[in-house]
Amino acid sequence: KVWTLSHFDIGRLLGRGKFGNVYLAREKESQFVVALKVLFKKQIGENNVEHQVRREIEIQSHLRHPHILRLYAYFHDDVRIYLILEYAPQGTLFNALQAQPQKRFSESQSAIYIKSLSSALIYLHERDIIHRDIKPENLLLGHKGVLKIADFGWSVHEPNSMRMTLCGTVDYLPPEMVQGKPHTKNVDLWSLGVLCYELLVGRAPFFSNNYDETYKKILKVDYKLPDHISKAAAHLISKLLVLNPQHRLPLDQIILHPWIVAHTQ
C-alpha cells in the first residue's frame, strides 16, 4: 500500500520538532486516528542526518511492544518525509506531571510507569537498542494512560514543554555520557533512576540553574531525597543512580524489586 497525504485529513498541531512538526490526522477510509510527523528533507540534508532517519525508521517500524509507540508506515514527496505514528490520546508524561496538583505522582502510579518502562527497555535491550532518551518529554500516554516510549530522536517538544535547552535537558545524562565516554545500555538504567526520582519528587535529582552545576552534581551523584519518599522507593533509586554503569540494578531485577512488586499487582 503506497500512502499519500491525500489519504489523510490533517488536524491540530500536536508537537513541534527541530526537523518538523507532528499533527493529529485521520485516515479517510478507515477513520483511524494517527499522529502524522512531517520531516523536511532540506533540514535533514543540511544537518546530515539522512542515515539516522533511515535507521530510526528501520528500527521503529519493526518494534512491537505495548509500551513502545508504533510507527505504522511512512511515505515521502519531493520535500518532506511523513511518518504515520500511533496517536497517544493522553499526551506526554511531561504534561501529565505538570498537571498533577503537587507536580508529582503517587508511589503507586510512579511504580506502574517505571515497571512499564522497564519491560519496554528489556524488549529494546534484547534487540541491542539503547539510549531511547527516556525523559518525561519523550514518553506518551496512550488509551487508559498506558505509557509509551516514543523515541524523539529529533527532540519533539510539545508547544508548552519548558525544558528547551540546546540538546534537550541535560538532567538525564549519566556520568559516562557527561564525560564523553562510550555509552552502553546501562545508560538507560541511570535515566530510569532519574525518571523515578522526578515522578515521585516533581523535579529532576540533579536539577540546577546551569549546565556546569548539573554536570558536577551528576558526576558526584549528589542528590537528596525528600522525607515523603518511601524507604523502598529510595532504595530502588539508590540502586540506579550509581556512578559505575556495571553496578546499576539490571532490568530483570528492577521489575522484581519490592517497591515495584508492592504497587503493581
Ligand X SMILES: O=C(Cc1cc(-c2ccc3c(-c4nc5ccccc5[nH]4)n[nH]c3c2)n[nH]1)Nc1cccc(F)c1
Binding site for ligand X (CB under 6 A): 14-15, 22, 35, 37, 39, 53, 56-57, 60, 71, 83, 85-89, 91, 140, 150-154, 156, 158
Residue closer to ligand X by CB (options 52, 179) is: 52
Closest approach of ligand X to the CB of residue 135, in Å: 13
Q: How far is the CB of 112 from ligand X (least distance, A)?
A: 19
Residue whose CB is less far from ligand X, 1 or 62 = 62
What CA–CA distances, in Å, run from 247 to 144, 186, 250? 35, 9, 8
41 near 79, Cβ under 8 Å?
yes
- Write down the least CB distance from residue 251 to ligand X, Å: 22
Residue whose CB is less far from ligand X, 57 or 122: 57
Report which of 99, 75, 111, 94 is spatially closest to residue 200, judged by C-alpha positions. Answer: 111
Structure-block grid coordinates of residue 121: 527497555
Beta carbon of residue 20, minimum distance to ligand X (angstroms, whole number): 8
Reduced 3-state DSSP string for the chain: CCCCHHHEEEEEEEEECCCCEEEEEEECCCCCEEEEEEEEHHHHHHCCCHHHHHHHHHHHHHCCCCCECCEEEEEECCCEEEEEEECCCCCEHHHHHHHCCCCCCCHHHHHHHHHHHHHHHHHHHHCCCCCCCCCHHHEEECHHHCEEECCCCCCCECCCCCCCCECECCCCCCHHHHCCCCCCCCHHHHHHHHHHHHHHHCCCCCCCCCHHHHHHHHHCCCCCCCCCCCHHHHHHHHHHCCCCHHHCCCHHHHCCCHHHHHHCC
- Residue closer to ligand X by CB (options 14, 196) is 14
Q: Nearest approach, Cβ of 150 to ligand X (angstroms)?
A: 4
- Report, as residue numbers or ranges, the catalytic residues: 133
Q: What would the grid cell of residue 187 be?
A: 545508560
Question: CB-wise, 87 or 105, nearer to ligand X?
Answer: 87
Q: How far is the CB of 219 from ligand X (least distance, A)?
A: 30
CB nearer to ligand X: give 139 or 204. Answer: 139
